[in-house]
A and B are shown apart, each in its own frame.
Chain A
C-alpha cells in the first residue's frame, strides 16, 4: 500500500502528508516531483497543501499545468484514488477533476484553527471507515476555501451525493458560525461523481496524532487504505443508483 505525495514548487504540507501516512499510519510513501510523469506505483495520490507556484494568478491555477497533473488525471480517470488537501483541493478544481471554484474566505483573511466537519457521505473510498453524520475535528489553514458553484452544478452535486463533508458545530449542527470561510452549503469536502477523487479544505494530515490535538484525520487515510486494498470495494447500491 503506497501513497504518492506530489511536490509542486511551493507545496509546504508535502512533508506533513508524507509523515502522517508513513509514521502515523505505517504505510509506504513517496514524493512525486511535479516535472515527473511517473506515479511510482502509488495506490493513492495526495495533492498536498501549501502555496503551489506561490498562489500566483489564482490558487491552483498554475499547478494544473505541471507535467505530473496529466498523469494524475489519467490515473483518476481509471479509478485511481486522488486526495487533494487544501491547496490540493484548489488544484483539483482548477484541473477540472472536481466541479466548482474557490473564492477568498468570507472575511478576506487567512484562517487557521480547529474546525468540525460532519460526514455527509460515508460511502466513498475516503470515508468508508466513518459513519454518516459523524463529526470530526480537523484544522483548516487557508485563504481561499470559500467554495462556490452555480445552482445547476450544486443541484447535481447534491443529487449525486458528492458533498462528502460539511462544516458543523461539534454537535453536528450546520451554522454560519461553524463555517470558517463562507463556503456554499458549508461544503468542506467534495468528491467527483465516481467518488475516487476527493478534495477537502481541512488538513487530515494535521490530525493524526494525539499530540497535535486530534486523531480524526486518520479515518480518512484508513478509509483510503481500505479502499485501495479491497477491504472496501464499491459504493453501495444506493450510491450507484444515482449514476446515470
Chain B
C-alpha cells in the first residue's frame, strides 16, 4: 500500500489540517484511492467549502419552487402538472486550456444535469467573456496587461465552435446569451452555460439509491483516464503562466452524439417502472455520483471496479474512481426489473452494466478484484467536508471616484461618431458571428431567438411560453460588487419582462478569483448580498447555480462576475413583443424616465461602456438602482404588453439610450425622430446607463390608455419621439444633435465582431512592430 506522505497530501491540494480531519473521520490512514476520493470531494468545486456559509443567505424559496439548490438543477412549477428545470454552470478553466473541448464539455455537463432530472433539454444560453479581440482605441489602461489579440481570438473562435459542435449535434437550440470582451478575462475566459428543460412534475427524477440489494448500473461511455482531477486541479486552483499547456490532459473530450443517445435512453428508461434513481457522472465522476446517491437516501453503495467498462488498459482503482470521462450515468434500478433497463440501453447502442448494489450501511465501499480499496462513510465526503469561514476584508479602491480628466464637451457631430464607435465595439456590436454558428431553431419552439433582449420559446406540451436571459456586468461589480450584483439581477429580469413574461426563478453562476484572499471573499459576500437584495424585492427565487473560484492567472483575478440567468413564464393566452420598432408612425415612449440613477453623473459615468470604449478609462461607481422602481417599471411594461398597448419593448443597458434606440431601429430598418426635451448634458442623455428604463413603441391613440396604467404603477414615462423615415435623428430641445442613416448604423453594428474575431493579423497591442 502506498505510504501517504505530506508531499502526497499536498499534491492532492489538501492542507495538513484537512488531512488530520480525514484521519479522524476514518480512524485510520487512508489508502491512495481514498486520498484521491477525499481530494476531489473536498475540492472547492465539489464541496463549496469557502462559499457555503455565504450561499445560505440567498433567497431560495418561493411558492412555485419545487426544487431549490442541492440537486442537479432547480425546478419551478409551471402549473398543469408541468415544471421547468434549469441551471447555469461554468467551464472556465477547461476552456482556457483547450477552448473547443473545454466549452463543448461544459455544454455536455449542464445538459446532463437537466436530463438527469427527467427533463428533456429544450434551451441553452451562453454567457461568454474573453480578452479583447479588437485593438482598443485608447490602448491598454495603466496597469493592464498587454493585450494578446491573437490568443483571445483563438480562444473565442474555439469556444464558440465547441459550443456549436456539442449543442448542435445534441439537438438543443442555443438561443443566445451574452459575449463581453475585457482585458481581465484574457488569461481566464468565462464560459457559463445555462440550460433549461421541461418535465411532468410526476416524472421528475432525483439522485436516490433506495432498497438494499438493488442493482447499481453504469451506463454510457467507457471510463478512460481523461479528466482525472479535473474538479480539484482545474476548477479549484489558480493558474500560473505555463499551466495552460501543462494541464491540457486534464480536459475531457466530449462526444455529443453519445450524449444524445444517452439522453434518449435515460428518458425512455425513466418511463419504465424499473428506475429508482439516477445521477450523472460529472465533476469527480464515479466518486461523486456513488457517495451522493447513497448519501441522499441514507443508504450506501458498493461498487466493483472490475465491472466498470474501461477503454484504457491497466487503470488503477484511483484512476477509475477519479476519471471525469464524459457521457456517463449511474442508475439504481429495482432488483428483478433491471433487464428492462438493459434492453432500453441496448436499443440505443449503449453500455449498461451492473457494477454494484445498494447497501444498508451509509458508506461508499469500493472493491477491486475482491479487495476493498476504499471504504468511506458518505457523510465524511459530503456533510462532514470542511466548511470555511474564511476571513474577508473590503478591497481598497484602486480606481478613483472622479474622472481622471474633466468629462469632454462633445459637439453633435462628435456624439454621432461616438455612437458609431460604440456600436462597433465588440461588446455592443451584433453577435451574429457567434449565434449563427448555433442551431437556434431545432425543436421548433423558438419564438424569439438570439439577438433580442431575452429568448422566448413556446412549450408544445402546455401552450405556455418561457422567456430566458443571462446577464452580468463584471466592470460594475469590480467598482462596487453589491451594486453590480443588484444591477445584474435587475437587468436579467428586465430582459425577461420586456418580452411580456413574468420572472419566476433564477440561477446564478458566480465567477471570482481566489477565495483565500480576503478581498476576493469580500467581493463574493457583497455580491451574494446584492443578489439577495434584488431577488427579494423582485420576488425571484434562486433555485441553484454554480460557484467558480480561482479565476486567476499569474496572480491577477478577473473582475468579480456574477452571471444571472432568469426564467419567465408567459401563460397560454399571454401576449409577447419583440425589441425592435415594428411599425412606422408609432410613438416612442421611455418607461422609467430619462434619469433614474441618483448617483452623481460624473461618478457613475465612469462605469459606462462609453467611458470604456470611447474614453478608454475606468473610474467611479456603477449606477445606483432603486429596486422598488425597477419592480414597478417591469410590472408596468408587462401590463402594457398584456393589454396589447405596446408593439415593441427594449431594455436599455450598455451604451444607454442612444445605443438602445439604434438597436430598436436596426431590427426592421425602421427610423425614428427623437426629441429629448431635457436640460441635461447630451452626453448624459445619450450614453448614461441609468437602470430601470425600457423603450416601448405604441400607436399614438393607445397613449391615453397607456398613461392610465403608467400612473397606476406610479412610474415616469416620457414620450420622446416617433418612428419614421430611414434614419435615427436625435435632437435636444429644438436642436438636432445628430442624424445617422440606418445603413450607417448597420455597417458599424453588423460586421465589427466578425471582422475582429476572424482577423488573422497576429498582433499584440503593445507591440510596436506590425507584421508585414
A positions within 8 Å CB-CB of B: 9-10, 12-13, 15-16, 19-20, 49-51, 53-56, 109-113, 139, 141, 143, 203, 205-206, 208-209, 211-212
Contact = CB atoms under 8 A, between A and B. Distances in A.
Nearest to B165: A110
A110 B257 contact: no
A54 B436 contact: no
Contact of A12 (B255, B260, B460): B260
B436 A112 contact: yes
A50 B257 CA distance: 10
B439 interface: yes
Contacts of A56: 257
A110 B174 CA distance: 13
B587 interface: no
Given A10-B257, A54-B258, A55-B169, A19 B444 contact: yes
14 contacts: A9-B257, A9-B261, A10-B169, A12-B170, A16-B443, A51-B168, A51-B169, A53-B257, A55-B169, A110-B437, A112-B168, A141-B168, A211-B458, A212-B446
Contact of B441 (A10, A51, A110, A212): A212
A53 B255 CA distance: 11
B440 A212 contact: no
A20 B439 CA distance: 18
Interface in B242-272: 255-258, 260-261
A203 B255 contact: no
Nearest to B457: A211
A54 B255 CA distance: 8
Contacts of A15: 443
A206 B169 contact: no
Given A53-B257, A212-B446, A12 B441 contact: no
Contacts of B255: 54
A15 B461 CA distance: 13
Nearest to A7: B264
B115 to A, nearest CB: 14
A56 B260 CA distance: 14
Contact of A141 (B349, B442, B447, B460): B442
A69 to B, nearest CB: 17
Contacts of B460: 19
A217 to B, nearest CB: 10
A212 B390 CA distance: 51
Contacts, number: 81
Nearest to A53: B257
B430 to A, nearest CB: 12
A112 B458 contact: no
Interface in B162-180: 164, 168-171
Contacts of A20: 444
Interface of B: 161, 164, 168-171, 255-258, 260-261, 348-349, 432, 435-444, 446-447, 458, 460
A130 B310 CA distance: 55
Given A13-B171, A19-B460, A111-B436, A54 B257 contact: yes
A111 B439 CA distance: 8
A145 B230 CA distance: 37
A141 B169 contact: no
A112 B439 CA distance: 5
A110 B447 contact: no
Contacts of A113: 432, 436
Nearest to B160: A109
A111 B441 contact: no
Could you say which of A49, A112, A205, A209 has the most chain B C-beta atoms within 10 Å of its C-beta? A112
Given A112-B439, A139-B441, A143-B168, 18 more contacts: A9-B348, A9-B349, A12-B171, A12-B260, A16-B443, A19-B460, A20-B444, A50-B171, A54-B258, A109-B437, A110-B438, A110-B439, A111-B436, A112-B438, A141-B442, A203-B441, A205-B444, A206-B442
Contacts of A141: 168, 439, 441-442
A51 B447 CA distance: 24
A51 B439 CA distance: 12
Contacts of B437: 109-112
A16 B436 CA distance: 20
A112 B256 CA distance: 18
Contacts of B439: 110, 112, 141
Nearest to B758: A107
Contacts of B169: 10, 12, 51, 54-55
A54 B254 CA distance: 12
Contacts of A109: 161, 164, 436-437
A139 B439 CA distance: 10
Nearest to B449: A213
Contacts of A50: 171
A139 B446 CA distance: 12
Nearest to B167: A110
Nearest to A19: B444
A51 B164 CA distance: 13
A60 B437 CA distance: 20
Contacts of B443: 15-16
Could you say which of A50, A53, A203, A209 has the most chain B C-beta atoms within 10 Å of its C-beta? A50
A111 B434 CA distance: 10
A212 B258 contact: no
Contacts of A205: 444
A16 B437 CA distance: 20
